[in-house]
Amino acid sequence: MVDIPSGTFALGSADGEPDERPPRTITVNAFQIAAREVTVGEFRRFVDATGHTPAPGCNRYIDGKLTAVSDLSWRNPGFPQGDSFPVACVGWNDAQAYIAWLNTTTGKRFRLPTEAEWEYAAKAGNSSSDRPWTDAVNACAAANVMDRTAAAASDSKMIFGDPTKYLSTDEQVFPCSDGYLYAAPVGSFAANAWGVYDIIGNVWEFVQDCGATSYGERPADAGAVETRDCERRGIRGSGWNIGPKFARIANRSTMAPDGRNWGIGFRLAHDAP
């Protein structure tokens, strides 16, 4: 776990998507966030110990469309992986089950980060920065993102959608090669200024909050935003199949709590000791 200091920062982006606006000044108490995403090996120990069985099936791209594939799972997300890779094809509910088991086993109180905590840790003291790199060509040293390796792949349309069909206003491929076509072992790229790896790219990460809404009426603290009828949960950080338009710290998306995608996993948080 990485110690994250208390502080105040601007949540969101004035130049971003509608759900990233308006920027909101947030005060964050000190907390801890995992340096790396939860891995396949860590999730496997949980499954072996508890018998927890995530529902079968997982979404992936086929012929440029996001498609549910019944025989995919966290054990086989549709690409080669080992125990050091980030677990994917798990839902928010699976993450909560993992956390409950981990807390019982360790006596700790791990949890998912709130959305505000996640973004604060991602910005690492630079509230005006939306990426942990200065130029698009340097992205591949800092993150596993949609790159030239992906664009050159013979089955790129099967993996990512068809890069040749993007409109000029849509996301594009980063002008570099990160060496991975799919997910990479956690910690394979440079950490941000606070020692957090893969904060952008590799896999999207579930947060505790309900799905994205405007920041206009958001509380000024870093607590999770919950509603009684929470049908979707927030995900942050983008993944290995995301290009420059959306591979940004402020970018937000959502997923149903029981939804699973080959590019979505999670990372842990903990209150300050």
Predicted confidence at residue 171, as pLDDT, reads 72
81-118: pLDDT as tens digits: 999 999 999 999 999 999 999 999 999 999 999 999 99
Domains, the chain, with CATH or none: 2-271 (3.90.1580.10)
Interatomic CA distance for residues 25 and 42, integer angstroms: 35
Q: Are 225 and 210 in contact (CB under 8 A)?
A: yes
Tokens at residue 103, please?
């807390």
**DSSP sequence for 73-133:** -SS--SS---TTSBP-S--HHHHHHHHHHHHHHHS---BPPPHHHHHHHHHTT-TT-SSSS
pTM of the model: 0.95
148-173: pLDDT as tens digits: 888 777 666 666 766 666 666 667 88
Interatomic CA distance for residues 204 and 126, integer angstroms: 21
Q: Is 238 left (phi over 0), alpha (psi -120 to 50) or beta?
A: left
Interatomic CA distance for residues 159 and 61, integer angstroms: 5
